[in-house]
Structure 1
Amino acid sequence: MAGSTVGSASGTTSIHVPITIVQQPGEDAGDLAQRVRRELEAIERDRRAGANSAFGD
């Protein structure tokens, strides 16, 4: 994933963050990919939840 596009009140921001993932000997590539995907999705959910909570009264 080269980057992420994020919406904001003033427009759209693109974030590019290098991530290095090293598969360990004996580690299943598919399992590793699924764990990475889950972590990235959790980070995005947390980021959205924080942004949504900023819209209080």
Structure 2
Amino acid sequence: MANLSTLEYTELVEINGGSITLTIMGVTFVGWKAVALISAGVTTLAGAAALGFYNGSK
């Protein structure tokens, strides 16, 4: 893992043709929501819901 580099948001957009998507258990997150989930390391639908609730309460 040490040889991997972190990609910036614009680099991710360029790689994926202008849109970041993440699908967890059939639920697709697009754009900044997908980036937030990826950067937080969320890999479950429950985790995505919890992160959304936490961010909404701030």
TM > 0.5: no
Write 1 or 2 for the structure with the bigger share of helix: 2
Larger radius of gyration: 1
- The TM-score with structure 2 as length reference comes to 0.29
- The TM-score with structure 1 as length reference comes to 0.30
